[in-house]
Structure 1
Amino acid sequence: MPAPSPVATWRWSVVWLLFLATMLNYMDRQALNNTQRHLLAEFEPDPARRNAVYADIQFAFGVSFALFQIVAGLLIDRFSLRWLYLGAIVVWSGAGVLTGMVPAGAVGALIACRVMLGVGEAFNWPCAVACVRRVIPRESRGLANGIFHSGASIGAVATPFLVLLAVNRETGEGWRGLFVVVGAVGAVWAALWMATTRGDRAAVIDHVEPADPAVPGSSTPFTAAFGMRAFWVCLATGVCVNLCWHFYNQWFPRYLTEDLRVAADTELYILAGFYVAADLGSLVSGWTTRRLVRAGHTVERSRQLVMTGVAVVLLAATVPAALLPAGALFGLKVGMFFVVAAAAMGGFAIFFSLAQDVIPRHTATILGVCGCMSWLVISGVTKTIGEFGLAGPGKYATLFVVIGCVPLLAAAAGWLWPRDTLQH
């Protein structure tokens, strides 16, 4: 198989803008996760009720995020991706700013802001995945997907340090200003996006492959996806990698607060390391896939090998991470969680690549449906954990081991990818 051909510099610059958008997306989202100990104390005075309130807030975000991914996909495959992306970041950045202005105790208003955040943020992944599909050749998409999605963990790394700078670790004062500042940065990205994607580049980004009977697969309607094995493999992979990663994203901070009882500043440093490891996992996954293609493996086999490796590493790290005592082995325990983070994030580069190959001209809609189903599952799990008290001191280890098995299902699904899939 020939080596991947060079990709024009401007195309990679667009990928890095997708990285920045995803970084801001996660900063707006992680601001709540990283200030949860202060925010929950202000909105729910009863400590016994805080996990339930936390679950309700996350559930509201998750459902809105899930449902609007389908809306986003349908719109992106029909209208201007360039303008839709701009509008989305304005909405989610505005939601972040408004969160910092919610009065203490007004849980309903806080939930409304998180719903608005979910609506805006739902567009990020369908927009980014469709954009990569349109500007980056197939053999390099794993790397491009890894780059843009690594913005999630970089944003998650930056947020704890912003919390350390802006929020009083004892009183929690300053958490509102953090939401306002992070939300306002979206205006900078909007200006960069419009400046970088104007002219002929806008036409490439907005291009939707037309239905052409002479081009195999180009006239396939979206509804045909439900009869394709490739779609169901993609969906299973997406649900599994999303469930694993977002479980950790939502509950690992509570684990540090409740179970390990680390100090506020120590918690933020651990979270920063956790997301640095996740970022490396995303990049290594995409890079390894590309290297395997260069070594002569097919694109499909390269993805299968990487996803299998990611799943095995994740489970192997999860067991000691969950079960090691926190005393003298605290450093090793945290290190194992960093490996878990890297492996959990590594699966996304593969999932996005699969979504780009099911029906190329409906990439955003395919990603939207997979994202919607993933987040409905995630939200249901979160709600169940909160309502039935499954999280709390001494309870997290079992949850981690169960979730650690989920990526194995994604790897198994990947080996069912049809061999006769058209190469685009």
Structure 2
Amino acid sequence: MSEFPTAAGQSSAKIGMYRWRICAMLLAATTINYIDRQVLGVLAPFLQEEIGWNEIEYGYIVTAFQAAYAIGLLCTGAIIDRLGTRIGYAIAIAVWSIAAMSHALAASVVGFMLARFMLGLGEAGNFPAAIKTVAEWFPRRERALATGIFNSGSNIGAIVAPLMVPIVAVTWGWQAAFLVTGVLSMTWLAAWLLTYRPPEQQPRLTAAELAHIRSDPPEAAVRVPWARILRHRQAWAFVAAKFITDPVWWFFLFWLPKFLHAEYGLTLLGLGLPLIVIFVLADVGSIAGGWLAGRFIKLGWSVNRARKGAMLVCALCVVPIVFAAQADNLWLAVGLIGLATAGHQGWSANVFTLTSDMFPRHAVASVVGMGGFAGAVGGMMIATFTGFLLEATGSYLPLFLMAGSAYLVALAVVHALAPRLQPARLDTGPATSQSL
């Protein structure tokens, strides 16, 4: 993609493209973030046999990550708002790099739980920092696309992991897979500290591009207490959307390799191609979801109608997954799951953008952190539930049924709480809501 549209009809090539380099760095960080967390999911069917954990214990290992992720998200948004994205992001990735490599020392369920807990604490900083960076570097009309691009890193990471991890594990042992991903994180950290500066302090940024980035009406740069944010229905709309739908994505990450191994007998090396297909489709969905909302806006739709219209399309893409649990053909199941992951990632790009639609830049990371906390709590619940369900029944059908309905339910809740996506007036009190 060589040019991005601006309000004046000019191309970004004339204004400058440096903000898209920042977006590329966010894409790289998110890719590494998901490689780190996906290593366990890829190796899970085989580590389960080597370490000897059962479905319930694996559920506890996943829950440890989710618990730390929830705690981290509750704190990191406010920390990043206070320290800024350069330092806040650096601290987060340093923690998760060390935690990722510490998995190589684990030899028991408890050891993996401790390593996953520390990984969750560090990785919790990625999305609050990235969303805040987008809010700082992009005008509102470009944020959905920028978010969709960097958020596609979650799918790229999920593609790279099943491609890379089995080869590394078979060649050098499963411990090496965790060490390699930790080194990738540390490499990104060095590049970030050497090159990143806020827009006003970046000498490579042209005056024209800075003016474009700051083309939205100015916002007061004051810190807002969480208590004031939570008085607004707009905040609860984002929190509810994350709580209802994030658990589905966590299920995809940590249980799809086990599902494919259990239902279709795939080996460690055999998991690669189906998982790559699934997450390539998710990658397409991430960018397409952000593009679709922007396209609707260009057609003259309001931001409210465009955002929710794109979310509805994405939600409908997830519904057919209800048939995946009973598919008697591997590639039919892969297609249905891939369509659902595409729907989720397109949904996610728009849900994240809701925060910058409804909140000023200085509050975005805090709101994202609150929503991420809710999503991680939901992920904790689904992880423990899934472990007990599979240990008792071995059936994935109830899980796919919940996944297929979650997004339509979430969209209804978002619309009920924020019918017009009206910006929250944090300086006064709860913003009023009107019907669409």
- TM-score interval, normalised by the smaller of the two chains: 0.7 to 0.9
Alpha-carbon distance in structure 2 between the residues aligned to 1:93 and 1:225: 32
| Distance apart, 1:202 and its partner CA | 5.2
Paired residue for 1:197? 196
Query: What value does the CA root-mean-square deviation take over the aligned residues?
Result: 2.5
Q: Is the 8 A contact 2:229 2:235 kept in 1?
A: yes
1:230 alignment partner, one of 216, 234, 239: 234
- In the TM superposition, what are the counterparts of 1:283-294 in structure 2 within 5 Å? 283-294=287-298
Q: Hey, what does 1:301 align to over in structure 2?
A: 305
Shift of 1:276: 0.9
Structure 2 CA distance for partners of 1:344 and 1:158, relative to 1, 3 Å: same
Deviation at 1:248, TM superposition (A): 1.6
Q: What residue is the counterpart of 2:328 in the other structure?
A: 325
1:333 Cα shift? 2.7
Q: In 2, Cα distance between the equivalents of 1:246 and 1:346? A: 16
Work out whether residues 359 and 424 of structure 2, in 8 Å CA contact, stay in contact via their aligned partners in 1. Answer: no
Aligned to 1:58: 62
Name the SS for the 1:167 alignment partner: helix
How far residue 150 of structure 1 moved from its aligned partner, in angstroms, is: 0.5
In structure 1, the residue matched to 2:368 is 367
1:173 CA displacement: 5.8
Equivalent position of 2:178 in the other structure: 179
Q: Tell me which amino acid in the other structure corresponds to 2:93.
A: I
CA distance in 2, matches of 1:333, 1:160: 18
**Kindly tell me: are residues 32 and 5 of structure 1, through their superposed partners in 2, closer, same or farther at Cα, counting changes over 3 Å?**
farther
Deviation at 1:111, TM superposition (A): 1.2
Q: Quick check: 1:230–1:418 contact (8 Å CA) kept in 2?
A: no
Give the 5 Å matches for 1:29-44: 29-44=37-52
Provide the residue aligned with 1:97 in structure 2.
101
2:339 maps to which residue?
Answer: 339
Q: How big is the shift at 1:279? A: 0.8
Contact 1:143 1:286 in 2 (8 A): yes
1:247-286 matches, within 5 Å, as 247-286=251-290
Match of 1:76 in 2: 80
Identity among equivalent pairs (%): 30
CA contact (8 A) 2:246 2:378 kept: no
- Residue type at the aligned position of 1:290: G
Are 1:28 and 2:30 counterparts? no
What is the CA distance between 1:90 and its match in structure 2?
1.2
- Alpha-carbon shift at residue 221 of structure 1 (Å): 4.4
Q: Report if the CA contact (8 A) 1:222-1:359 is conserved.
A: no
Task: Give me the whole-angstrom Cα distance separating, in 2, the residues matched to 1:311 and 1:215.
Answer: 33
Shift in CA distance, 3/289, structure 1 to aligned 2, threshold 3 Å: farther
Q: CA deviation at 1:391?
A: 7.0
TM-score calculated relative to the size of structure 2: 0.86
Structure 2: how far apart are the matches of 1:215 and 1:20? 29
Q: Which moved more, 1:378-387 or 1:145-154?
A: 378-387
Structure 2 partner of 1:211: none
- Tell me how far 1:254 sits from its aligned partner: 1.3
Give the Cα separation in 2 of the matches to 1:67 and 1:5.
44
Partner of 2:24: 16
- The aligned amino acid for 1:21 is A
Aligned in 2, Cα 1:387/1:336: closer, same or farther, shift over 3 Å?
Answer: closer
Instruction: Give the letter aligned to residue 116 of structure 1.
Output: M
- CA gap 1:391/1:179 in 2 versus in 1, 3 angstroms: farther
The question of whether the paired residues in 2 share the 8 Å contact of 1:150 and 1:279 is answered with yes
Cα shift at 1:158: 0.4
CA distance in 2, matches of 1:173, 1:218: 51
Alpha-carbon distance, 1:92 to partner: 0.5
TM superposition shift of 1:167: 2.2
**Contact 2:243-2:377 within 8 A present in 1 as well:** no
The structure-2 alpha-carbon separation of the partners of 1:391 and 1:128, relative to structure 1 and needing over 3 Å to count, comes to farther
Task: Please state whether the residue corresponding to 2:270 is helix, strand or coil.
Answer: helix
Cα–Cα, structure 1 residues 67 and 132, in superposed 2: closer, same or farther, change >3 Å?
A: same
Deviation, 1:22, is 0.6
Q: Which amino acid aligns with 1:193?
A: W
Contact 2:96–2:122 (8 Å) recurs in 1: yes
Say if 2:111 is the partner of 1:109: yes
8 Å CA contact 1:3–1:294 kept in 2: the answer is: no
Q: Distance in 2 between matches of 1:56 and 1:355?
A: 31
Structure 1 residue 201 displacement after superposition: 5.3
Contact 2:86–2:197 under 8 Å retained in 1: no
For the 8 Å contact 2:56–2:391, the answer to whether it is kept is: no
Aligned mates of 1:194, 1:303 — CA distance in 2: 34
CA deviation after TM superposition for structure 1 residue 156, in Å: 0.8
For 2:83, what is the secondary structure of its paired residue? Answer: coil
Q: For residues 297 and 5 of structure 1, do their structure 2 counterparts lie closer, same or farther at Cα, with a shift above 3 Å needed?
A: farther
For residue 405 of structure 1, give the secondary structure of its aligned residue in structure 2: helix
- Contact (CA 8 Å) 2:286, 2:342: kept in 1 or not? yes
Other-structure match for 2:396: 396
Q: 1:243 aligns with which of 238, 243, 247?
A: 247
Partners of 2:66 and 2:120 within 8 A in 1: yes
TM-score by length of 1: 0.88
What 5-or-longer segments of structure 2 have no aligned partner?
1-5, 204-217, 426-436
2: CA distance between counterparts of 1:59 and 1:202? 41
Aligned-pair CA distance for 1:418: 4.1
Which residue number corresponds to residue 158 of structure 2?
156
Partners of 1:117 and 1:228 in 2: how far apart?
Answer: 32
Q: Deviations over 1:313-342 (max 9, x none)?
A: 210x2133233323xxx3223212211111
Equivalent AA in structure 2 for residue 273 of structure 1 = V
Give yes or no for contact 1:70–1:369 (8 Å, CA) kept in 2.
yes
SS state of the match for residue 266, structure 1? coil
